Amino acid sequence: MALSPQKKFLAFAEETAQFGLIHVCDVSKRDDKRTKKTIEKKRTFLSLDCTATKYISLSFDPSEESRYLVALSAEPDWRIIYWNWSSPKPLATLPASGLSKFYHAVCQPNAEGSILLLGNSTIKMCKYTQGNEILKANNITQTKSLKDQSQYSQNYVNYCWLNDGNLILCTDRGELIYIATHNMEMKYVLSTSPFDEMVVECMIPFSKGFIIGGSNATIYVYEKHEVDKKHQYVRVERKVQVIFIINFFLYD
């Protein structure tokens, strides 16, 4: 399920015995008589070229949320599919072959047609070029310091686009990795990452940094450190514990 950035559209996937379906609804309209939101189904997507029976990740393109949507199908036919709502046929696809397990395919804010693919031993930036039916994919590079630190996990399970346009990745070991998006380079692992303290299940940005939530119903807040340019985000020395966490949204 995905909610568009302006909260006008909702996309959700349906699993069937033969193929996966994606439905997009307009949730912005209101019924004046009852002052309640009504839902209008806009379109249903189906790719006959994809043999997977379900989709595990959906994302609206923030640059044009009323036109573009990206989906990641599940095994055994891992595939990124980029759709334009005006046509039932996909604009472009990218088979994500291999033995890796994938988790997310998400559009990059302020970069039309740019898609981040995350999985086990996989982190790529994919780009849609008009008229090209195959998405172009490039690996994100590592700095020398990260290459030397082979002990960090390469199973990338979560992400957060920061308000400054950069990216934080989280591994299955709770390592938070800062990525500069101007050159798509992995810079460093945050020294105040949760590591083995908890499994990070959700991440969101806010005006001063980002927030993570995970196991044991724990929430940590990270704020930007203006002085230390090498380690720009530090954890606020305060841990919040709630009853449980499924996911969370922030109105900043």
Q: Tell me the pLDDT tens digit for each residue of 168-222.
A: 999 999 999 999 988 889 989 998 999 988 899 999 999 999 999 988 888 899 9
- Alpha helix ranges (H) inside the chain: 144-148
Contacts of 219 (CB under 8 A, 6+ apart): 211, 212, 213, 239, 240, 241, 242, 245
Which among 134, 122, 4, 44 has a CA at the least distance from the CA of 82?
Answer: 134
Contact 24, 10 (CB under 8 A): yes
Say if residue 23 is exposed, middle or buried (CB neighbours under 10 Å; 0-12, 13-18, 19+): middle
In which region does residue 217 sit, left (phi positive, over 0), alpha (psi from -120 to 50) or beta (all else)? left
Contacts of 203 (CB under 8 A, 6+ apart): 158, 159, 160, 168, 170, 210, 211, 212, 213
pTM of the model: 0.85
pLDDT tens digits, one per residue of 54-109: 999 999 999 888 889 999 999 989 999 999 987 878 999 999 876 689 999 999 99
